[in-house]
Structure 1
């Protein structure tokens, strides 16, 4: 194995503590003959445990070794894989090195652990290459990662030549992508010491779809139209969803990401204190082959806050043009985002010629930079009943309609008033009884 790993060039920059490098070192010591049997057994078990942990977290099955190698191929963001993601595999000298690496990976796919197992008296590698996972649907894992890794792993198992292996991997890069962005829908960010941004996948994103949001058809149509134009490479606007709480603003954003994920849409959620990282965030994603929504939930600023100026510069007005593959979607309970006071209106000319003050213009200019604004308002009483009725039917709750309305009225009186959120909470309450 150590000789195979040594052949890797494009994919050879693996961390020393990676499973593959650690097993390579095990084989290096094994072939040298200068080793302690107990030490090698311990080291083998340690790496097998790591494979089991990865397999459990991603719900891998059948051949964990193949799943792991496939996971490495998918996650490695190198110049070759990133180019394939953007333009596909093109004729070029780099393909020669890539095929050599894929030949090595094919050897690793077919690697026989039996000599090591026989010498050490262990069978752990035989077990993980014929592995049956425990079916536990309640376990939290990322379904996108699991499905895509297992599907590509099974396709690579069937390849019969280096060229076929090459075509299978590169077509995956072009069709799905590479790294975390290829496998995940949504991310949060964390600032690294060197000033860069780390993207952390949101593994348990709500699987809500737009049909789950009862009502608000005009709002959904407007949001879909703008997002559809965006993913198709047409001109599209930043979007502000404003209005009463519990009306489905955040749900609409999650649903739109689920709706267009297969077309390359990804979401990055950021918070107000992270606005100063916006420029670095954009620099790291502007050349990727995805469409990104930078999502800001419950966006608003108090009178003494100035972080909104970072956002203004990014949306429109900075020296650098915002890339075409990035839009900003925000939700807010405030139409104008920034708290406005009566003293902001004091700058009025004495001759009766009225004009907005500079302070007001400064504050209102942020909301005006969202090209699409969509209002979500509390439903009427009848609309609230309609939402409750539809949700009850969807969840198999059988109750006389008059009684259902009466119970819904009692619930909303002490739970925030009429809204889609209150209706959903009421249905959840009924399900738990």
Structure 2
């Protein structure tokens, strides 16, 4: 133990007071990084300061900040402000006046002033105070070697969402954060708050037995412009999605048909096209369909529009979770919400497997035909069914031509078609996916200057 005569500076006292003065953004004090900073400030403003404890708390804060993926305290705090869920951001996402709005907005302004003070607090302030009290001590060199966090305001290079870039730049370019309230109001009004403003895609997962949304940082980047063929099929899904986003009546959609025809890619590309207009997607594994009522309860009071995406949907004859899906599709009292649609893909038109044994008349069930009709009618409960069929030879080669042109592969068309036909015969048959796989192979050979060797012994 080594007690030091640490004289608390105005900057340290001011930063601690600023944190204590937060009201609307009170949740930030529970954050592990900001909470760690508060513990450090609270300790060094105490009556007795021990060098060992100070060193431990200082470096614990630095570690947690670095562990967050940023060494800039200002960047970290701005990020927390933008995505915090609080009485202001939750109410503001609906762009409607609410009781006590003026008082809450004034409290937000005060919070932003205080958070700006904290964001620009430097580790050098504590180090200088310790060094002065250790003027004639060897420990001074240890203190001077403490790492320092960055206070520069820089946008992370991997920040690719334009509307998130824009709101963060408002803070980085402002000397008075309280003047950013209107920018925050517009941000929450247009894009919501919390994780649903931060991510466009989520997976519904079970963690410790409890279902929850898990944000996907890097969803499949596929774009509609990259998809070739099936224009009419895709236009039906796009039109329904636009109606949904505009608040008009719209339908749940089942995309079914042959494998590799772009059903899943269509749904993912639609998200990438329209997420800036408030569209979000929840990928729901078939095993968790029974959680649908809980998912709806969590989403129905949000301002965004949600597509619940179920990929490769099919039920076995002994699976009863299809009754949950049927109930949701029928729109019961709890399952009806104007901001949620279901988009499902399947290789089957009939989503519940049927066997010849189902037709046997000696079944124990009295009303066999009713049971069979219940299974067959599940697909009919989707308002829109879109069929994606395997392309014929002409359509397959048109997809190959389009992909080759897009990737600027310079090759004689006769050779291109010949090799593409070989590929589909030897591998997975004609489909959009097969065409992409062939072009991937061809592009790799062209890039390294290899001769075409698509021949089998």
State the Cα distance separating 1:152 from its structure 2 match: 2.6
Which of 9, 18, 24 does residue 10 from structure 1 map onto? 24
- Measured against aligned partners, the alpha-carbon deviations of 1:294-341 in whole angstroms (never above 9, x if no partner) come to 000000112221111111111115332510000000000011211123
State the Cα distance separating 1:134 from its structure 2 match: 9.8
State the Cα distance separating 1:25 from its structure 2 match: 1.1
Distance in 1 between the 2:309 and 2:114 partners? 41
Distance in 1 between the 2:159 and 2:169 partners? 19
Distance in 2 between the 1:132 and 1:172 partners? 20
Q: In the alignment, is the contact (CA less than 8 A) between 1:148 and 1:183 conserved in 2?
A: no
Q: In the alignment, is the contact (CA less than 8 A) between 1:219 and 1:374 conserved in 2?
A: yes
Which of 178, 192, 198 does residue 212 from structure 2 map onto? 198
- Secondary structure of 2:308's aligned partner: strand
Which of 307, 315, 340 does residue 301 from structure 1 map onto? 315
Distance in 2 between the 1:254 and 1:190 partners? 19
Per the alignment, residue 251 of structure 1 pairs with: 265
Per the alignment, residue 230 of structure 2 pairs with: 216
1:28-39 alignment runs, 5 A limit: 28-32=42-46, 34-39=48-53
Q: In the alignment, is the contact (CA less than 8 A) between 2:153 and 2:172 conserved in 1?
A: no
- Say if 1:133 and 1:41 are closer, same or farther in 2 by CA, change over 3 A: farther
Deviates more, 1:392-401 or 1:312-321: 312-321
State the Cα distance separating 1:131 from its structure 2 match: 7.7
Per the alignment, residue 373 of structure 1 pairs with: 385
1:115 has 2:129 as partner: no
Distance in 2 between the 1:292 and 1:23 partners? 37
Per the alignment, residue 74 of structure 1 pairs with: 82
- Secondary structure of 2:378's aligned partner: helix
State the Cα distance separating 1:208 from its structure 2 match: 1.2
Given the two structures, how large is their TM-score scaled by the length of structure 1?
0.87
Q: In the alignment, is the contact (CA less than 8 A) between 2:306 and 2:341 conserved in 1?
A: yes
- Measured against aligned partners, the alpha-carbon deviations of 1:338-359 in whole angstroms (never above 9, x if no partner) come to 1123444567xxxxxxx99212
- Secondary structure of 2:27's aligned partner: coil
Q: In the alignment, is the contact (CA less than 8 A) between 1:69 and 1:105 conserved in 2?
A: yes
Per the alignment, residue 364 of structure 1 pairs with: 376
Deviates more, 1:151-160 or 1:20-29: 151-160
State the Cα distance separating 1:73 from its structure 2 match: 1.1
Distance in 2 between the 1:336 and 1:134 partners? 47
Given the two structures, how large is their TM-score scaled by the length of structure 2?
0.83
Q: In the alignment, is the contact (CA less than 8 A) between 2:191 and 2:304 conserved in 1?
A: no
Which of 151, 158, 177 does residue 129 from structure 1 map onto? 151
User: Would you say how many aligned residue pairs link Structure 1 and Structure 2?
Assistant: 412
Distance in 1 between the 2:290 and 2:380 partners? 21
Structure 2 residue runs without a partner (length 5+): 1-14, 131-142, 362-366, 446-457
Q: Which has the larger radius of gyration?
A: 2
Q: In the alignment, is the contact (CA less than 8 A) between 1:247 and 1:376 conserved in 2?
A: yes
- Secondary structure of 1:189's aligned partner: strand
Distance in 2 between the 1:321 and 1:214 partners? 36
Distance in 2 between the 1:148 and 1:372 partners? 32
Q: In the alignment, is the contact (CA less than 8 A) between 1:89 and 1:170 conserved in 2?
A: no
Deviates more, 1:384-393 or 1:13-22: 13-22
Per the alignment, residue 9 of structure 2 pairs with: none
- Say if 1:400 and 1:36 are closer, same or farther in 2 by CA, change over 3 A: farther
- Say if 1:88 and 1:72 are closer, same or farther in 2 by CA, change over 3 A: farther
1:273-288 alignment runs, 5 A limit: 273-288=287-302
- Measured against aligned partners, the alpha-carbon deviations of 1:83-114 in whole angstroms (never above 9, x if no partner) come to 11122675343333323322222322343443
Distance in 1 between the 2:31 and 2:75 partners? 18
Distance in 1 between the 2:284 and 2:350 partners? 19
State the Cα distance separating 1:169 from its structure 2 match: 2.1
Q: In the alignment, is the contact (CA less than 8 A) between 2:293 and 2:335 conserved in 1?
A: no
Q: In the alignment, is the contact (CA less than 8 A) between 2:326 and 2:378 conserved in 1?
A: yes
- Say if 1:428 and 1:36 are closer, same or farther in 2 by CA, change over 3 A: farther
State the Cα distance separating 1:258 from its structure 2 match: 0.7
Q: In the alignment, is the contact (CA less than 8 A) between 2:264 and 2:345 conserved in 1?
A: yes
